[in-house]
């Protein structure tokens, strides 16, 4: 791919950048973010649920460029700061892809660049991201996602245990887990009669070992989604860089993600928006990614649906989608779990906020913040997709008022650990249909959203 010609240049910078202590890099982030926020007059407007100000979005993009140029990223393996000039950054963004195809045959889908308030439908990358699953129900859980026609691509959860053992990072158990993932994911798509459905690779691979394993003989396909990330904040290491090098040399599709921490080195909502914008720019340029995701985390709730974070994500998405053609994505990471209304209102908020802000693809749902055993189901992923479709072409003004109402329904529950129920209690394992309780809750919330003004297909 023409955007990926700079691999050796990037790896050279990794070995020759300025030697720096990690704590000094952290301080550089804090001081630069404060300085740039002031220079570009970027501030959080808590009266709005999402950003409504195009000029602020454009200033945020310019601020993001400046942070990207002045801070760059830090490599923990070589203890070096990696910087790019403004020209190098703009050149990298210029060659970034503006579309990508996933899947095969009748299940092929294309992700396109979108702008705020775009009428092009968002693509749905559905997964319980990180949620631990019991080995004996893994494939059925994933089938519950694949069987929904609203789902465009799927990505697995994580095995709680494999052959009775925890799949420890960088161990032979990680290899076994990723091989089992291939079997379970492919059988899930076949049973759902969607053998061509695009799949995300190596959900069970924290180290490069799993990635290399599951993309070897008879593993995942080139145009399945391969992943690499920045470590918070704005850091990388050899594990991530091996993934990037392997994916690029394999001519495969690379999805980058960077999840900044709200209240962390960049501070509050405006700092989060700024560092998320800078991070996506740097992912696109340095990792030469195909798609770029942000899903910041709250330090106390672990989710990304607190009002300050929704505003920050919307502002960063608008900054990127008004000023570049890079393919942006956002993962819905709610506090609520299956069989809670909280989860559904959080999905409605995030899907609406990101769709009207120009996101190309929505990812998730990482129910109950992806840490509770078996706490996920295909129904919330379908619901997330349905809300995104309902918000396609909507104005930000309309979305802003809707989201304020959605937030009244879930914000009071964010600190209450509303994890809901596990898959085995919200789906019938024989029919793979949601239970009456869960389906009834879904119907009720959908009806409430309709009365608030959402128009579902």
Whole-number CA gyration radius for the chain: 20
Determine, following the binding rule CB under 8 A, whether residue 299 of this chain makes contact with another protein: yes
Q: Are 51 and 311 in contact (CB under 8 A)?
A: yes
Q: Are 280 and 258 in contact (CB under 8 A)?
A: yes
Q: Cis omega (within 30 of 0) on the bond before 11?
A: no
Residues in contact with 311: Cβ distance below 8 Å, sequence separation at least 6, in sequence order: 44, 45, 46, 48, 49, 50, 51, 269, 273
Give me the torsion for CA of 427, 432, 433, 435, rounded to 10°. -20
The closest alpha carbon to 226, from 207, 243, 209, 249, belongs to 243
Pick the piece of the chain touching another protein (CB under 8 A) from 49-57, 116-124, 227-235, 355-363: 227-235
* CA 366 centroid distance within chain: 9
Determine, following the binding rule CB under 8 A, whether residue 307 of this chain makes contact with another protein: no
Q: Which of 168/397 has CB closer to another protein?
A: 168
Q: Which of 24/437 has CB closer to another protein?
A: 24
Q: Which of 130/195 has CB closer to another protein?
A: 130
Q: Which of 177/327 has CB closer to another protein?
A: 177
Distance CA 108, CA 118 (A): 22
Determine, following the binding rule CB under 8 A, whether residue 365 of this chain makes contact with another protein: no
Binding test (CB under 8 A) with another protein, winner from 17, 63, 156, 167: 167
Binding test (CB under 8 A) with another protein, winner from 231, 242, 432, 452: 231
Q: Which of 17/296 has CB closer to another protein?
A: 296
Pick the piece of the chain touching another protein (CB under 8 A) from 233-241, 248-256, 277-285, 314-322: 233-241
Query: Measured from the CB of residue 309, what is the shortest distance to another protein in angstroms?
Result: 10
368-387 positions binding another protein, by CB under 8 A: 369-371
Q: Which of 221/371 has CB closer to another protein?
A: 371
Determine, following the binding rule CB under 8 A, whether residue 435 of this chain makes contact with another protein: no
241-270 positions binding another protein, by CB under 8 A: 261-265, 267-268
Place of tokens 């990723």: 178
Determine, following the binding rule CB under 8 A, whether residue 422 of this chain makes contact with another protein: no
Query: Measured from the CB of residue 445, what is the shortest distance to another protein in angstroms?
Result: 26
Phi, psi of 366 (to 5 degrees): -90, 75
Distance (Å) of CA 52 to CA 2, 57, 362: 35, 9, 20
Q: Which of 40/129 has CB closer to another protein?
A: 129
Distance CA 45, CA 69 (A): 26
Determine, following the binding rule CB under 8 A, whether residue 120 of this chain makes contact with another protein: no
Residues in the chain: 457
Size of the residue set binding another protein (CB under 8 A): 36
Q: Are 140 and 128 in contact (CB under 8 A)?
A: no
Question: 206: which 2 tokens?
Answer: 């924290």
Distance (Å) of CA 39 to CA 60, 80, 183, 278: 11, 27, 52, 15
Query: Measured from the CB of residue 396, what is the shortest distance to another protein in angstroms?
Result: 25
Binding test (CB under 8 A) with another protein, winner from 70, 104, 112, 170: 170
185-214 positions binding another protein, by CB under 8 A: 204, 206-207
Query: Measured from the CB of residue 321, what is the shortest distance to another protein in angstroms?
Result: 26
Distance CA 427, CA 444 (A): 18
Query: Measured from the CB of residue 413, what is the shortest distance to another protein in angstroms?
Result: 16
Q: Which of 103/210 has CB closer to another protein?
A: 210
Determine, following the binding rule CB under 8 A, whether residue 452 of this chain makes contact with another protein: no
Query: Measured from the CB of residue 178, what is the shortest distance to another protein in angstroms?
Result: 11
The closest alpha carbon to 350, from 388, 323, 397, 377, belongs to 388
**Angle made by CA atoms 353, 145, 381, in degrees to the nearest 5:** 15
The closest alpha carbon to 231, from 127, 77, 14, 334, belongs to 77
Q: Which of 232/448 has CB closer to another protein?
A: 232
Residues lying near another protein in the complex (CB under 8 A) are found at: 22, 30, 76, 130, 132, 158, 160, 166-170, 174, 204, 206-207, 231-233, 235, 237, 261-265, 267-268, 271, 299-300, 302, 308, 369-371
């Amino acid at each position: 791919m023409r955007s990926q010609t700079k691999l050796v240049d990037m790896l050279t910078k990794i070995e020759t950048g300025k030697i720096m202590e990690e704590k000094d890099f952290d301080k550089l982030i804090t001081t630069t973010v404060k300085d740039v926020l002031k220079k570009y007059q970027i501030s959080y407007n808590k009266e709005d649920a999402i950003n409504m100000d195009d000029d602020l979005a454009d200033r945020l993009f310019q601020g993001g460029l400046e942070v990207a140029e002045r801070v760059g990223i830090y490599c923990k393996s070589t203890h070096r700061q990696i910087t790019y000039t403004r020209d190098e950054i703009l050149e990298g963004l210029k060659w970034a892809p503006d579309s990508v195809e996933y899947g095969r045959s009748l299940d092929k889908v294309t992700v396109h660049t979108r702008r705020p308030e775009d009428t092009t439908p968002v693509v749905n990358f559905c997964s319980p991201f990180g949620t631990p699953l019991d080995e004996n129900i893994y494939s059925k859980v994933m089938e519950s996602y694949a069987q929904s026609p609203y789902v465009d691509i799927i990505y697995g959860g994580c095995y709680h245990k494999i052959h009775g053992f925890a799949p420890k990072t960088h161990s032979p158990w990680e290899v076994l887990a990723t091989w089992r993932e291939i079997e379970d994911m492919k059988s899930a798509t076949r049973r759902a009669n969607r053998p061509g459905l695009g799949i995300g690779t190596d959900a069970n691979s924290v180290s490069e070992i799993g990635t290399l394993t599951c993309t070897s003989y008879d593993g995942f396909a080139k145009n399945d989604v391969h992943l690499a990330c920045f470590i918070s904040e704005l850091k990388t290491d050899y594990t991530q860089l091996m993934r990037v090098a392997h994916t690029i040399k394999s001519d495969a599709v690379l999805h980058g993600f960077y999840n900044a921490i709200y209240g962390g080195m960049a501070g509050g909502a405006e700092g989060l928006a700024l560092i998320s914008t800078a991070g996506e720019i740097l992912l696109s340029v340095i990792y030469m990614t195909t798609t770029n995701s942000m899903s910041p985390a709250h330090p106390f709730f672990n989710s990304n649906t607190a009002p300050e974070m929704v505003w920050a994500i919307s502002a960063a998405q608008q900054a990127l989608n008004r000023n570049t053609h890079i393919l942006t994505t956002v993962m819905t990471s709610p506090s609520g779990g299956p069989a809670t209304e909280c989860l559904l209102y959080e999905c409605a908020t995030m899907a609406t906020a990101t769709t009207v802000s120009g996101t190309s693809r929505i990812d998730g749902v990482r129910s109950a913040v992806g840490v509770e055993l078996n706490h996920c189901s295909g129904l919330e992923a379908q619901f997330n997709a349905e809300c995104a479709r309902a918000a396609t072409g909507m104005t930000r003004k309309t979305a802003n008022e809707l989201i304020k109402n959605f937030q009244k329904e879930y914000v009071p529950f964010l600190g209450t650990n509303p994890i809901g129920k596990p898959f085995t209690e919200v789906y019938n394992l024989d029919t793979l249909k949601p239970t009456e309780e869960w389906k009834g809750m879904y119907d009720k919330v959908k009806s409430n959203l309709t009365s608030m003004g959402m128009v579902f297909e």
